[in-house]
């Protein structure tokens, strides 16, 4: 009798493992939309804006942080000077990566997709202290790449969420 109960419980556990693995493989419940690259969208829905476009990288010069005497990153200036700073994390909570755009979220809310000529597609996931009005800041991996971009005025296609 106890052998039959053991076999039945093994069958139940096998079915449970099968169901969980199907959910994991399908990815529908585990996919994080914020980390997927922005998809191309239909041009007919786009709005065009002429924006001042600058660039930034995760360095202390671009993001306003420095290391304290313990070697930990802290805010370098402003009202939160000396407070701990998470380097590489955007205001929306995602990790920075190519395609991350900082904008004034009162105009371009988080999740807004933009196409910037010479840069490509990106999504608004961050905001910056100096980014007010019709200005955006594009993420680059290195300070050199950000400096090469400089400050430009570009006609940008925008898709609101």
> Can you give the pLDDT at residue 30?
40
15 and 54 fall within a common domain: no
Domain membership of residue 15 as a residue range? 1-31
> What is the C-alpha to C-alpha distance for residues 125 and 113, in angstroms, rounded to an integer?
10
Mean pLDDT by runs of 10 across the 161 residues of the chain is 54 59 48 48 77 91 85 86 86 90 94 95 89 93 93 94 87
13 and 75 fall within a common domain: no
Provide the CA 3 distance to its chain's centre, in angstroms: 53
Q: Count H helices and E strands in the chain, helices first.
A: 3, 8
93 and 155 fall within a common domain: yes
> What is the C-alpha to C-alpha distance for residues 128 and 126, in angstroms, rounded to an integer?
7
Is residue 119 within 8 Å of 38, Cβ to Cβ? Answer: no
147 and 85 fall within a common domain: yes
44 and 27 fall within a common domain: no
24 and 59 fall within a common domain: no
List the Cα angle 67/71/72 in 5-degree steps: 70
Is residue 114 within 8 Å of 99, Cβ to Cβ? Answer: no
10 and 60 fall within a common domain: no
> Can you give the pLDDT at residue 113?
95
12 and 86 fall within a common domain: no
> Can you give the pLDDT at residue 32?
44
Give the number of domains in the chain. 2
62 and 128 fall within a common domain: yes
Both tokens assigned to 38:
């922005």
pTM to 2 decimals?
0.69
In sequence order, the β-bridge partners of residue 139 are: 56
Is residue 156 within 8 Å of 111, Cβ to Cβ? Answer: no
CATH number of the domain encompassing residue 91: 2.40.40.10
Cβ-based neighbours of 60, under 8 Å, separated by 6 or more? 66, 67, 73, 76
Both tokens assigned to 63:
């993001």
């Amino acid at each position: 009798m106890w052998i039959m109960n053991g076999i039945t419980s093994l069958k139940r556990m096998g079915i449970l493992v099968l169901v969980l693995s199907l959910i994991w493989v399908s990815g529908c419940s585990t996919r994080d939309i914020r980390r997927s690259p922005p998809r191309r969208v239909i041009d007919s829905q786009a709005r065009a804006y002429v924006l001042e476009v600058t660039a930034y990288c995760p360095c202390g010069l671009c993001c306003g942080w420095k290391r304290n005497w313990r070697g930990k990153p802290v805010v370098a200036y402003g009202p939160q000077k000396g407070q701990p700073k998470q380097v590489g994390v955007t205001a929306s909570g995602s990790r920075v990566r190519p395609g991350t755009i900082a904008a004034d979220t009162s105009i371009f809310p988080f999740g807004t997709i933009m196409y910037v000529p010479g840069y490509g597609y990106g999504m608004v996931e961050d905001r910056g202290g100096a980014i007010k009005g019709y200005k955006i800041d594009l993420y680059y991996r290195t300070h050199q790449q950000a400096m090469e971009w400089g400050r430009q005025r570009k006609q940008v296609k925008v898709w609101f969420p």
